[in-house]
Amino acid sequence: MIHFVILINRQGKVRLTKWYSTYSQKERSKILKELSGMVLSRGPKLCNFIDWKGYKIVYRRYASLYFCMCIDKEDNELEVLEIIHHFVEILDRYFGSVCELDLIFNFHKAYYILDEVLIAGELQEPSKKTIARLIAAQDSLVETAKEQAGSISNIISQATK
């Protein structure tokens, strides 16, 4: 099972965190500090797996972002590498050549997409097309709802409530 997903950039700033097991806020920041230390100090030619406190950390670097996932000892590391790649490809398809800025400004969207890919620490949807379709559908729903809400009549009714 995947315990958490963290995206850090080369300077150590966090771009996304999702926790599938329980950790308190203090534990989370501690884990993050440790992780950034470990992952950022590894060179480019080294293998993508780190042993950490009885768990394994699988990470991969895409441009300036490190995608890290923490798994149990028995899990298959290559599978998780593929999951990471899967997620990145979906992001790419959605945002169109995704870069770090996209993730910074579309913070919530990144979460929604991650929720379609992984649920409860397991892979949910291996097909990129389906996910793209799902997210697009959700987006359009939101758009139509927004339009409705943004219509003049609504604004007036809201203001006079």
Q: Name the site residues for other proteins (rule: CB under 8 A).
A: 1, 14-18, 20, 22, 24-25, 28-29, 32, 43, 45-51, 72, 74, 76-79, 81-82, 104-105, 107-108, 111-112, 115, 119-126, 130, 134, 137-138, 141-142, 145-146, 149, 158-161
Q: How far is the CB of 119 from other proteins (least distance, A)?
A: 4
- Which residue, 63 or 78, is less far from other proteins as judged by CB? 78
Q: How far is the CB of 45 from other proteins (least distance, A)?
A: 7
Strands 118-119 and 122-123: antiparallel
- Which residue, 1 or 63, is less far from other proteins as judged by CB? 1
Q: How far is the CB of 111 from other proteins (least distance, A)?
A: 6
Judged on CB neighbours under 10 Å (0-12, 13-18, 19+), 63 is exposed
- Which residue, 54 or 96, is less far from other proteins as judged by CB? 54
- Listed in sequence order, the residues at least 6 apart from 50 whose beta carbon sits closer than 8 Å to its beta carbon are 38, 39, 42, 56, 57, 59
CB 111 within 8 A of CB 104: no
Q: How far is the CB of 95 from other proteins (least distance, A)?
A: 16
Token digits of residue 24: 């308190």
At position 34, the amino acid (one-letter code) is E
- Which residue, 97 or 160, is less far from other proteins as judged by CB? 160
Strands 49-52 and 14-19: unpaired
